Structure 1
Amino acid sequence: MLVSMSMIFSALSDPASVLGWWLLVFLLVAIVPQGILTAWFVQLMRSKSQAYAARVGIREQSAGVPAEVVLCLRGCDPTLKQVFESLARQRYNHWRLRVVVDSKTDTAWSVATATVAQLTKDQRPSWRKVTIEPLAQRPTEGSLKCASLRQVLQTLDPQTQVVALIDADCIVSDQWLLSLVDECLQPGVGAVSGNRWYEPVGNSLTGTVRAIWNAGAIVQMTAFGIPWGGSLAVRRDALEACRWVDVLRTTLCEDTSLISPLTQAGWRYCFVPPLLAIDEDDAILIAPLTRWISRQLLTARLHHPLWPLVAAHGLFTSAVLAAAVIFCAVAIVFSNWPGLALVASSLAAYEAISVLLVLVIKQSAARAVAVVQTNLRPLSSGQVFRWILLLPLTQIVYAVAIVSSLQARSIEWRGITYRITRFSGRLGVSSNASPAASLEQAVAQVHG
């Protein structure tokens, strides 16, 4: 039903305009669930961190469980050498490292082989065996990363009981593998993961925007049971029961696609807060950042059963904020100062509460990683001020990313363009997977 301009002008001239009050209600509807969810998240982080700390004395009992760590590489991330170094220091007795590189001509191949050789020469790495192999087949269905992972899962050592995944930008503590395996072997648990916490070393504009967005994303991922593949462990019994290898044949990513089959097979996924990986990367531009966020959202759209909730939240909050800003602009034009005061103060309160929630999430993350002797940088007034200034930009980037993920028919990831395809009623991706000349440029723009 069309509303006449005279009705709009009349509403704007009313100090208690119906439109303004409705916007106030919508802002409350948007922020209250976020506050409740954050409070739940903080309590969960505390209880899980305490449970993790309580197992310190008995965790070593899991160190003899045969495990394999999988590192899939396409392009050479700046932190790749440090990742190998952190893996070499693992305090674990019985594990193998499996590295699958896109091809022998990939720059990651030379870095991986040289780093492993140097580590073997200079020290005694904790792994019992390391294998570096090229991707044998480049299928047209599913992503190359999933193809690399399938290559390993189909050739696991018969004794392996737990498979752990790590990303090329994830530098881990010496207790990382032990913690993953121990948590994964708890009764009924089929998979566990940490998550990524961004702590941009230079506090750049885009680095801060990514950190703010990621703080909220961690809460949603925890609430909706979305694992993070950069630090993920799966029990072998569980991956075989849920036929994960078959699922990976057509999927874009490995982590989001795990939950549905895992749950259907009767296994649980658990988030382990102390295993948050601190990422200090600052080197990303606004356009690649928007595409990166859109890709994270797209993986949920393709593979997670609760995607409608994720999309509804993103669209609703973005629409309400946009409507409030437009209302304020129109109120200024028509000198509706009471209406402006109502909506502008409500909008300011929404933003202030949002920044406060990010602060609470950061403090919760700091307490969690402190359990494993990792420290986040102390919170400063300057950092809080930057969050206040950059929160609106973060919300704009998120709005663009959520709309982009909903409309996407294809996605580019590390130089390969994947088309969204339906396979037997299930969404996945397909491509003409050939080596990309612009691969190194793609890695330089977006690490991951």
Structure 2
Amino acid sequence: MYYIAGGLLLLSIAMVLIHMVIAYRVLRSLSHYAQPPYPDEKCPKAMVVMCLRGSDPFLEATLRSIFAQDYPQYVVKLIVDSVHDTAWEIVHRIKEELHASHVTIQPHLKRRAGCSLKCGSQIEALETIDPSIEMLAFLDADTVPHATWLRELAAALNQPGVGAATGGRWYAPETATPGAVMRYLWNVAAQALMTELHIAWGGTLAFRREVFDQLKLADRWSKAICEDTMTQDALREMNLKVQFVPTLMMVNQEDISVNSFRRWVTRQLLNTRLYHSNWWFVLLHGLSVFVVVEGSLIFSLVAALRGYGNEALMAIGAAVLFQSTLCLLLFLLERAVLNLSSPRRRLWGAWWVWALIPVWMVFVQTMNLWCVLRAQFTRRIEWRGVTYEVLSPFHIRIVEETEVIVSATQSI
């Protein structure tokens, strides 16, 4: 019993040190990032691509923001799932309201059987592209960009050794529902790992046109279920990197149900398993966190019932040490992100929500292990009403497609 308790404590200390190092590196990038205003004459002609399937809760805000970027030369191409999609009327109405002549809207007509609908839509958008376009930028419907979003991407791409630029997401929903709290906590850790492992995020992602073409990324996307996670491994072929832009940490105010949260996490992890070389680290991290917290709590209960009081206390100490460290790092990351976001708004003002964060963490860590194991072994995934069979990273098959229904307040 003593050796097991000691092992749990040592593992906890090791995990604390790892998380502190990662958090320090992320905090340093968030706090020391300085990017002077990027002048018009340096801004390359850009094309922004967004694919829509269903009308997301903040779709109108996203469209108004992207149609009115503070950027000298850019066009926007929107690929809507079909003319019957709920987003079709919205995008046309807002285009007319803003007289956005630089915006093109078209339905997704060429269904590709070997990739996801999103990848297929993006490829369709790129089939007709002006030769003068020098930068390609992609965003999701749940990203509400600020006025200089595109300009900041262009500035990041101008740095030496950079082939792609990306941002991050930070959840701050209006209501502290169980699903919203769990996704917030899970995403804090996930965003830190994504920054450390250079995992790109498709909600804000841009490429230099020449790099995109040389890597033949469109061909890779034509056989994949997601486009963003493979970016870093692909760029290594040209000795380039993904540049994380701290000022593009996008705040998302959507709510989510617990069931949708579970499916969402599984999908994020599956994408990492399929398309990123550091999946082993993500897998090992999920297992280690579960052992340190839930494993320590279970062991302490068994040890106490069998009369091993000291060992029980040692195991509880391991769990408390780790959870306390996570709470501290959570607070520091939250403050750093708020200093960059505009407008600055703290997640949920109610004190009782924050008081229960350590308890919610246990639920999230348990759910994370379940989703990690599902991502490791599952061959089917559901995404916006479409069920995909994943035979291999570049062998995807659509099994079933149904109408997508998006709530007025919740993401799916």
Q: Which amino acid aligns with 1:198?
A: Y
- Are the counterparts in 1 of residues 67 and 103 from structure 2 also a CA contact under 8 Å? no
Of 319, 330, 333, the residue aligned with 1:347 is 319
Identity %: 27
Q: Once structures 1 and 2 are overlaid, which stretch shifts more, 252-261 or 330-339?
A: 330-339
Please say if 1:23 is aligned against 2:8. yes
1:233 positional shift: 0.9
Matched, 1:375 2:344: yes
Equivalent in 318, 328, 335 of residue 363 of structure 1: 335
- Determine if the alignment matches structure 1 residue 289 to structure 2 residue 261: yes
| 1-structure distance, mates of 2:267, 2:353 | 27
1:62 aligns with 2:42: yes
1:155 and 2:119 are equivalent in the alignment: no
Q: Helix, strand or coil for the counterpart of 1:233?
A: strand
Aligned to 1:386: 356
SS at 1:196 equivalent: strand
Partner SS, residue 141 of structure 1? coil
Q: TM-score, normalised by structure 1?
A: 0.87
Establish whether residue 412 from structure 1 lines up as the match of residue 379 from structure 2.
no
Aligned equivalents of 2:92, 2:400: Cα separation in 1 = 24
* 1:398 paired to 2:407: no
Change over 3 Å in CA distance of 1:408–1:97 after alignment to 2 = same
Offset at residue 408 of structure 1 (A): 1.0
Runs of 5+ consecutive residues of structure 1 not aligned to the other structure: 1-10, 12-16
Q: Do the aligned partners of residues 315 and 395 (structure 1) sit closer, same or farther apart at CA in structure 2, a change above 3 Å counting? A: same
Partner residue, 1:447? 411
**Residue 3 (structure 1) aligns with:** none
SS in 2 for 1:195: strand
Given the alignment of the two structures, is residue 76 of structure 1 paired with residue 40 of structure 2, yes or no?
no
Residue of structure 2 equivalent to 1:132: 105
Match for residue 117 of structure 1 among 49, 71, 96: 96
Alignment partner, residue 160 of structure 2: 187
Q: How many residues end up aligned between the 2 structures?
A: 411
Q: Provide Cα deviations, 1:23-66, integer angstroms capped at 9, x if missing partner.
A: 1112112222111111121112223x22x2xx12x444334x21
- The 2-side partners of 1:72 and 1:145 are apart by 6
Aligned to 2:208: 235
Select the structure of larger CA radius of gyration.
1
Q: 1:190, 1:212 → 2: CA distance?
A: 30
Maintained 8 Å contact 1:144/1:433: no
Name the structure 1 match of 2:249: 276
Structure 1 Cα separation of the partners of residues 230 and 400 of structure 2: 20
The separation in 2 between residues aligned to 1:167 and 1:379, in whole angstroms, is 25
Q: CA deviation at 1:378?
A: 7.2
1:252 — aligned with what? 225
| d(CA) in 1 for partners of 2:254, 2:283 | 27
CA offset at residue 155 of structure 1? 1.5
CA offset digits 1:120-152 (Å, max 9, x no partner): 2xxxx4xx5211111121111010100111112
Paired residue secondary structure (1:87): helix
SS of structure 2 residue aligned to 1:133: strand
RMSD: 1.9
> Aligned AA for 1:193?
T
SS class of match (1:131): strand
| Post-superposition offset of 1:266 | 3.0
SS, match of residue 78 in structure 2: strand
Residue identity opposite 2:314 in structure 1: L
CA drift of 1:220 comes to 0.5
Range moving further from structure 2, 111-120 or 93-102: 111-120
Q: Which runs of 5+ in 2 are unaligned?
A: none
Change (3 A) 1:406 1:446: farther
